[in-house]
Structure 1
């Protein structure tokens, strides 16, 4: 009889590497999506600030308020 070996087989090591690689790719994709969302939110905030600034300038100049 052969004694039980305590090491890992090559298949187990390869499977563990695949699981780790998939996790890293998923984390990278999530980071890219987060950066895209942040950029989109920044653009929306800039647009809102620009609209507010133009509205305040128009109000300060005495122009009539635009109807919604």
Structure 2
């Protein structure tokens, strides 16, 4: 009953590091897109509020 314990090979470790790195880059790209979308929505909201304010001034 001899069990052979083997560690991970260097290739397996490098592959795991590559997989983790790709995942982190993908998460960073999604975060960047979310920040850009939030900024765009903020600017659109400000434009709508400015337009609404100008229309209200014109009614008086």
TM-score, normalised by the number of residues in structure 2: 0.90
Which stretches of structure 1, 4 residues or more, deviate above 2 A after TM superposition? 3-6
Residue 22 of structure 1 and its aligned partner are, at CA, apart by: 0.1
Instruction: Name structure 1 gaps, 5 residues minimum.
Output: 61-68
Aligned to 1:17: 17
Unmatched 5+ stretches in structure 2: none
Which entry has the higher C-alpha Rg, 1 or 2? 1
Q: TM-score, normalised by structure 1?
A: 0.80
Aligned length: 58
CA RMSD across the alignment? 1.1
Whichever structure has more helix as a proportion of its residues is 2
